[in-house]
Every structure is written in C-alpha cells, then in structure tokens.
Amino acid sequence: VPVIGLLAVQGGVAEHERHLERLGAAVRRVRRPGELDGIDGIVLPGGESSAMRRLLTTVGLWEPLRERVRSGLPAFGTCAGMILLSGGDDADPGLGGVDIRVQRNAFGSQAASFESELDVDGVEGGPMRGVFIRAPLVRSCGVGVQVLARVGDRPVAARQGAVLVTAFHPELTGDLRMHRLFLAGVSGSV
C-alpha cells in the first residue's frame, strides 16, 4: 500500500483524503518536515497558495519539500497545489516540479468559478466534470510538459514525469479517476 503524504497546512485537505483512502492509499497528513520521511508521493490541495507558501516557509517545509519534488517524488497538485508545484510566477517561484508558468486568479476574468466537461488524456470512460474555483491560468509550458486537458486552448491538466497538476478540483466531485491516474505513477501501488 503506498503511503501518500497530504500537505495539510491549509486548504481542502479532507476531500483529497477521502478520495485517496477510497482508492486504498494510506494517507499521512504532512505539516512538518519529518512527516515527509517515507512517503511514496504527495498531494498538494487547493486553497490559497500564498497562505500555503507562507506557512510552508514558517514550518520549514518549503525547502525539504522542494528537494523531494526535485528529486522525483511523485506529486499531485490541484489549483493552489498546481501553483505551488509549478515554476511559479514572476513574484513567487514555485517548487518547480512541473515546468509551467502560471498566473493566479486569471482564468477568465468573466468567470472566477465555473464548471466544464473535460476530456483528459489517460482517463478512460468519458469526460470529467471540471470544477474551477479562482483557478490559475497556465501561461506557458516547457517542452517536457504533457498537456492532458484544455478548456479552449488553455491547459488545465498537465504532467511532467511523476508530477500531475490540475487547475480544477477533482476532489470536489465523486470522480476518482484523476487520483487513480496519480496513484498509478506511484511506486508500491497496485
């Protein structure tokens, strides 16, 4: 059984926990550096990326987390989690797990929150319901990044190696397929 760390300093933690446990993962909430030891992957939830970043720095998690992610720890970030896993924006560098640049709260000024049916590469069985809440806009992707889904021409799901990110919130629907896709890339998974 894979042990999945779930970053729990801020944001929508319980919803991810439920999805991961339903898929048979052992979930460990991560609030301190030592709790990174022995995890097979990590999930970064939605919430407020600026608050999460501040808290991560305060508790001394930012650097060790960045090191683990850069040395290949599988990671899955939704919305604010995507912002943190990215290269960041001009003001705030990210953890650099996925070579994308993002702009916060910029996903269409008309629609701060919306839903969209999404066809996601690697997810079988029909479109997913994408729930977007003040989502980040992906401004650019490096060559190593595989875009898995778009809304119009805007990437909303992507992966690079073992790092998976979505601008939407699969944890807020009953759909487990995105989490299953993440777990499929985690060693120790069935």
Positions marked active-site: 79, 169, 171
Q: Which is nearer to ligand GLN, 26 or 112 (CB)?
A: 112
Counting contacts by CB under 6 A, is residue 83 touching ligand GLN? Answer: yes
> Quick one: 142 exposed, middle or buried, by C-beta within 10 A (0-12, 13-18, 19+)?
exposed
Counting contacts by CB under 6 A, is residue 47 touching ligand GLN? Answer: yes
Q: Give yes or no for a contact between 100 and 158, defined as CB atoms under 8 angstroms apart.
A: yes
Residue 133, marked binder: yes
Strand pairing of 137-141 and 128-133? Answer: unpaired
- Label residue 125 left, alpha or beta by phi (over 0 means left) and psi (-120 to 50 means alpha): left
Least distance CB 123 / ligand GLN (angstroms):
20
Residue 63, marked binder: no
Strand pairing of 75-78 and 163-166? Answer: parallel
Of the candidates 41, 46, 77, 88, which one interacts with ligand GLN according to CB under 6 A?
A: 46
Q: Cα 159–170–40 angle (5° rounding)?
A: 55
Counting contacts by CB under 6 A, is residue 79 touching ligand GLN? Answer: yes
Give the side-chain half-sphere CA count within 13 A for 139. Answer: 12
Of the candidates 80, 145, 158, 181, which one interacts with ligand GLN according to CB under 6 A?
A: 80
Counting contacts by CB under 6 A, is residue 77 touching ligand GLN? Answer: no
Q: Which is nearer to ligand GLN, 2 or 11 (CB)?
A: 11
> Which residue ranges make up the site for ligand GLN (CB under 6 A)?
46-49, 79-80, 83, 104-105, 133-134
Binding residues for L-glutamine are: 47-49, 104, 133-134
